[in-house]
Amino acid sequence: MILPHIFYAVALHYEDRKTRSDVQRSIIGRYFYYQLANIYITVTAGSILESLNEIIEHPTNMLAILGKSLPNVVGYFATFVMTKLLVGLPMIMMRIGPLTRMLFIKTCFREKYLTEKELDDMHHPQKLWYGWEYPNLLLVVVICFTYSCISPIILPVGAAFFLGAWLVYKNQILIVYSPSHESGGTMFPMACHRTLIGLICGQLTFIGYSILREGFYQAVVTFPLPVITIKMMDVFKNLYVVPGRSISVERAVELDMQRNAAAAFSPDVYRQPVLTEKSAEVLGGSSVRRFASGGDSVSSSSSPRRSTELASVGKVADSSGKIV
């Protein structure tokens, strides 16, 4: 419960990530790998430590002892997934935090005396926190991939969980959750990548468990599977992830046909306004220009034309002829 908040503070304040989607991606990555390490190190190491005394007494039977002790861990994970199905998903539907806040306000205060802002705060829409939801679902995927080769009983439990999660999250996303930002689908490639990482972990677990059960030929036959999966991760990245970051050529051609890009944008958009003004012209003709420069060619007669020219000395006009 605390780790996502710690990862959020690290991404926002220490790493200085600028966008909300970037912060959520950082939380997903860190939290996922923490849970992955928790599966393989904490729980599996616990089963090995329980058999450590027997291994020390009979070191020649180490593989057989580990092969018998590892399946006992599956019971813990099957119980864990069932708990998430029967307790975790109903709690998501109940929304304990907003429900507690609403009951507290309605119990301690009269609704008719509350301001509009206080009522809005009581019924404000809930945001979907991707950094919390994605790793929790990916954890169940990794558990099913990892321990399906050891004890296939976990597969029906995982299928029941995802059936319930599909119903719950479909309702929450359509009715309850209010999107706070648009990431442009950048979370989906990350979820697929983490799913394939869980598949690789399951394949490596199967190879190791086959060796523990002295199935060396099975381990040799299945050894290319992780290599193929890693290669396919690069193929998917080059085919879908990298092209998905930019607009396709076909779509760009369609947009250019719909409107004229040259007419839609002015060439002076990013220039300073003073630099976009057209050059001004001096009024009054050549005689006035000579007068302004100190020449003696202007007649001293008091004709109306001379008065008009003198009145216009020093005045300039723009391209429309207006004196400025």
Q: What is the DSSP string of 157-193?
A: HHHHHHHHHHHHHHHIIIIIB------TTTHHHHHHH
Distance CA 196, CA 209 (A): 20
- Residue 282, phi then psi, degrees to nearest 5: -85, 130
Sign (positive/negative) of CA torsion 205, 88, 180, 97? negative
> For every one of its 324 residues, what pLDDT tens digit does the chain have, with 9 covering 90 and above?
688 888 888 888 888 888 888 888 888 888 888 888 877 776 666 666 666 666 677 666 665 665 666 667 778 888 889 999 998 888 888 888 777 877 887 777 777 777 777 777 666 777 788 888 888 888 899 888 888 888 888 899 999 999 999 999 998 888 888 877 777 777 888 888 888 988 988 888 888 878 877 778 888 898 899 999 999 999 988 888 888 777 777 777 777 777 665 556 677 777 787 777 777 666 555 544 444 444 444 444 444 444 444 444 444 444 555 544
Q: Token pair for residue 144?
A: 């099913």
- Tokens 């109306």: give the residue: 304
* 3-class state of residue 317 by DSSP: strand
Distance CA 271, CA 261 (A): 19
Residue among 35, 221, 73, 80 at smallest CA distance from 150: 73
Let me know: does 73 contact 205? Beta carbons within 8 Å: no
Distance CA 143, CA 79 (A): 12
* 3-class state of residue 316 by DSSP: strand
* 3-class state of residue 101 by DSSP: helix
pTM over 0.95: no
